Amino acid sequence: MATLHTMGQQQDRRSWAEPYKIKVVEPLRTTTRAEREHAIAEAGYNTFLLRSADVYIDLLTDSGTSAMSDRQWAGMMLGDEAYAGSANFYHLEAAVREHYGYKFMVPTHQGRGAENLLSQAAIKPGNHVPGNMYFTTTRFHQERAGATFHDVIIDAAHDTRSLHPFKGNIDLDKLQALIDQVGAQQIPYVSMAATVNMAGGQPISMGNARAVRELCNRHGIKIYLDATRAVENMLFIKEREAGYKDKTLAEILLEFCAYTDGATMSGKKDHLVNIGGWLATNDPDLFEEIRNLVVVYEGLHTYGGMAGRDMEAMAIGIGESLNLDYMKSRVGQVRYLGELLDQWNIPFVKPVGGHAIFLDARAFYPHLDQDAFPSQTLAAELYLDSGIRSMERGIVSAGRDPASGDHRRPKLELTRLTIPRRVYTQAHMDVVAESVKACYDRRDSVTGLNMVYEPKYLRFFQARFERR
Ligand code: F0G
């Protein structure tokens, strides 16, 4: 097994290590193949329905699964659990202002809480929302508020083999064409994600954000950022875009956010916490509305569904996420796994994104058509092989078209190996790579799944399947 633990650009072939040491350990449990056969059948071949006690290495998501630092845990003891005006809220507000630069913010229990508030406050029925690829909960709230979502990401994002350095970029011609078609007044905002989760954790460039801002300024359209993994995006800008090599992540982040009017945030990712989020804006009128709405759905505007201690941990996590050594190791660990898989020509989305390896299930199982749910199948196979848990990001996640009721058939049919922050080591990545290889070697014998239960909303979370 490769021991070369290389970083990004590959000029420096010296080994590197995680920039932290371990103070507390959580034992992992291994299972037998027979136990896993039973567990995955009980779970309806949906990895969301497995019990975590039956999972060995959990790569379901990087959401809320981070290891907090000793400083964050110390911050938890400083929780001010006052119903109103908690000191921790003011710390959080100050950290968001300092690093993201927005004037006003409300805390929310997690990202989708912020998406709900923004969608309700900004969208009117019949509106159109363009975005650089959909995200499940984000689009759901936009549609529920009466909007139609339009994917305006560049075509390269839908091509798993394209090596475009900024596959998250917005296609300005597609955006202009939509404005011409529906009219600027029907577009409450552009929904801009950095990085783009469903495209494989792919970044958007500073140049693109600036160009989108200019285009939107000409038409009086706002831009709301999904800032969930924005700091990860800033590392890619520093590495790949001219003029940013010598800037700090904090400087790059502030410039990027300045091209937008506000942001929704799932703190469960970049902020290195287990729960929390926020919604921020520079627009005083919108702020008035969301500060009022937050008390209906989340909690008072100084806690928004979070405990004081959680707001404190998040305020501290914001600072930690901007540390370059940390961020290089975070993205570097994902790349390390990619390099291992590449030795065996295993198909996955390239270039490697910020938070996960996205296996290309269409290329993995060319004999399965999309109705046999190749990504879902691969997630189940990986669990059966080793107890590693991954996530479907294909036809099941895409859901049904609200108008026609048909499956939406995304070009990308991916199985995501999502790396939690500061949780696993290189050795875990070696084990993961070997298990993926074992599944790849057996790929011809796999027959796919049938969906036997389909929930109405966000079906991927709770759908059930049977073997074909
Ligand atoms: N936006 C993006 C880009 C996300 O990845 C997520 C969550 C959300 C918004 C919603 O945030 O979960 O805090 O309500 N992504 C998780 C994932 C669930 O596994 O990719 P949330």
Is 281 considered catalytic here? Answer: no
351: cis peptide before it, omega within 30°? Answer: yes
70 catalytic? Reply is no
C-alpha 422/C-alpha 284 separation (Å) is: 37
Strand 128-131 with 148-151, pairing: parallel
Please answer whether residues 160 and 360 qualify as being in contact, where contact means their C-beta atoms are separated by less than 8 angstroms.
yes
CA-nearest of 259, 296, 301 to 279 is 301
Position 8 pLDDT exceeds 60: no
What are the start-end ranges of the H helices in 284-425?
284-297, 308-321, 324-342, 361-364, 374-386, 395-398
Q: How far is CA 252 from the centre of its chain?
A: 20
Q: What's the CA gap between 138 and 196, in Å, rounded?
A: 12
- The overall longest dimension of the chain from CA atoms, in Å, is 62
Neighbours of 136 (CB within 10 A): 18
> What is the pLDDT, as a whole number, of residue 15?
84
Q: Which pairing describes strands 262-266 and 222-226: parallel, antiparallel, or unpaired?
A: parallel
* Ligand 1 residue neighbourhood (C-beta within 6 Å): 61, 63, 110-112, 135, 137-138, 193, 197, 226, 228, 266, 268, 277
Give me the catalytic one of 236, 365, 383, 460.
460
Structure tokens at 379: 């997630």
348 catalytically annotated: no
Bridge partners (DSSP) of residue 414 are: 360, 393
Q: Does 70-321 carry CATH code 3.40.640.10? A: yes
Q: How far away, in angstroms, is 388 Cα from ligand 1 center?
A: 21
Question: Boundaries of CATH 3.40.640.10 in the chain?
Answer: 70-321
Give the predicted TM-score (pTM) of the model: 0.95
Q: Catalytic site residue 135?
A: yes
H or E element: which one contains 223?
strand 222-226
Confidence of residue 1 (pLDDT cuts 50, 70, 90): very low
Cβ burial of 76 (10 Å; 0-12, 13-18, 19+) is middle
Query: Which of these, 379, 382, 377, 407, lies nearest to 395 by C-alpha position?
Result: 407
Query: What backbone phi and psi angles, to 5 degrees, belong to 211?
Result: -70, -40
- CATH number, domain 5-62+324-467: 3.90.1150.10
Q: 89, 135, 189, 440: which is the annotated catalytic residue? A: 135
**Residue whose CA is at the smallest distance from ligand 1 atom 10:** 111
**Separation between Cα atoms, residue 95 and residue 314, nearest integer Å:** 9
User: How far away, in angstroms, is 125 Cα from ligand 1 center?
Assistant: 24
Residue range(s) in the chain whose domain bears CATH number 3.90.1150.10: 5-62+324-467
Q: Return d(Cα 28, Cα 318) in angstroms, integer.
A: 28
The alpha helices in 366-425, defined as continuous H runs, are 374-386, 395-398
Q: How far apart are CA 421 and CA 203, in angstroms?
A: 18
How far is Cα 278 from Cα 264, in angstroms, rounded to an integer? Answer: 6
Task: Read off the pLDDT of residues 210-233 as tens digits, 9 standing for 90 and up.
Answer: 999 999 999 999 999 999 999 999
C-alpha separations of 56 from 53, 151, 380 in Å: 8, 36, 14
Active site residue 464: no
Please tell me the distance from the alpha carbon of residue 460 to that of residue 468, in angstroms, as a whole number: 19
Which residue in the list 139, 229, 269, 350 is annotated as catalytic?
Answer: 269
pLDDT tens-place string over residues 375-428: 999 999 999 999 999 999 999 999 999 889 999 999 999 999 999 999 999 999
Instruction: Say if CB 421 and CB 91 are below 8 A apart.
Output: no
Residues 6+ apart with CB under 8 A from 68: 76, 272, 273, 274, 313, 317
Phi (first) and psi of residue 379, to 5 degrees: -60, -40
Which residue is closest in CA terms to ligand 1's atom 11?
111
Q: What is the atom index within ligand 1 of the atom nearest the CA of 137?
A: 10
Using one digit for the tens of pLDDT, what is the confidence trace for 129-183?
Answer: 999 999 999 999 999 999 999 999 999 999 988 999 999 999 999 999 999 999 9
pLDDT at 4: 44
Active site residue 460: yes
Distance 266 CA to ligand 1 centre (A): 6
* Interatomic CA distance for residues 450 and 433, integer angstroms: 27
At residue 11, the pLDDT reads: 55
Q: In this predicted model, what pLDDT tens digit does every residue of 252-301 receive, in sequence order?
A: 999 999 999 999 999 999 999 999 999 999 999 999 999 999 999 999 99
Minimum-distance ligand 1 atom for the alpha carbon of 277: 13
Let me know: does 195 contact 353? Beta carbons within 8 Å: yes
239 by DSSP, 3-state: which?
helix
Contact 265, 137 (CB under 8 A): no
% of the chain surpassing 90 pLDDT = 96
Ligand 1 centre from 111 Cα, in Å? 6
Cα torsion 262, 121, 110, 348: sign: negative
Ligand 1 center from residue 445 Cα (angstroms): 34
In angstroms, the CA 18 to CA 417 distance is 19
83 labelled catalytic: yes
